[in-house]
Amino acid sequence: MPERSSVQQVYSVVLDRICLLKYPPHTLLREGELAREFGMSRTPIREVFLRLALMGLVASRNGVGTFVTGMDYLGYRDIYPLRMKVAELIGDLSPRSVTSRDIDRVVRLEERARGLQAAFDAREYWDLNHALHFTIGSLIGNSALRDLWDRYYYQTARIWYAIAERDAADTAESFVAEIEGTLRGLRADDLKAVGYVQRNGIAVTMRKVMEEVNPDTGEWLREPPRLTALRRTTG
């Protein structure tokens, strides 16, 4: 069972679990437990936790444990506008030119996305969004900008994933439209257009997120089970 893994692999797995809400906010993660699962000692797990902590996704409390952070309204309020700006810069800062491979890849994503309209599947939606994100990311020539593109993606992934499930039909439709717009931009080798399409998609999500909170208190108006579950990983 305990197969050896590298720090990078464990980081990816735990990151995915947090973003996919398999580890919902406030979940207690224990170093020893993950160490056993991945067949390594606590030391590399601590490194994974530190990296996740610097991403703002977990926080350790001495003597207590390491918790998945809550979805903080104030954090999203700050990150989303910046994420939109980053999208606007995609076509601005030395973009890579589009190849037919890129287009083919997105065409295939479009087909799969249309399938979502018939039967929505959260996991499939996640995979498609993931693929689209990294395809676009690969076109960003500026490495620092690409880092931000990824960073803010992961920092906001949980909340859009949670919200996507609220209104599956609308989510699927918007997603197909987003891919179509992206494709138009790619075919024109107009990465600025691609960036603006992304910006608009992010803006729509941000609006949805902000509609979920009480602007005075900053509290979430309704909390689906997946956001509130305070479960231990044992059991």
Partner DNA sequence: CCGCCCGTAGCTGCATACAGCTTGCACCGA
Partner DNA sequence: TCGGTGCAAGCTGTATGCAGCTACGGGCGG
Sequence letter at residue 184: R
* DSSP per-residue string spanning 162-194: HHHTTTHHHHHHHHHHHHHHHHHHHHTT-HHHH
Q: Which does 224 bind (CB under 5 to 8 A by kind): its own copies, DNA, none?
A: none
**Which of 9, 12, 41, 94 is in the footprint of DNA by CB under 7 A?**
41
- 30 or 133, CB closer to DNA? 30
Judge whether 200 and 89 are in contact, CB under 8 Å. no
Other C-beta atoms lying within 10 Å of the C-beta of residue 63: 5
Q: Which does 75 bind (CB under 5 to 8 A by kind): its own copies, DNA, none?
A: its own copies
Nearest approach in angstroms of CB 14 to DNA is: 12
Q: Which does 32 bind (CB under 5 to 8 A by kind): DNA, its own copies, none?
A: DNA
Q: Which does 148 bind (CB under 5 to 8 A by kind): DNA, its own copies, none?
A: its own copies
Q: Does 70 bind DNA (CB under 7 A)?
A: no
Give the CA distances from residue 121 to residues 112, 116, 165, 171, 197, in Å, rounded to whole numbers and listed in that order: 11, 7, 9, 11, 23
Other C-beta atoms lying within 10 Å of the C-beta of residue 101: 10
**Which of 1, 61, 74, 118 is in the footprint of DNA by CB under 7 A?**
61
Residues that bind DNA (CB under 7 A): 6-7, 29-33, 35, 40-44, 46-47, 49, 60-66
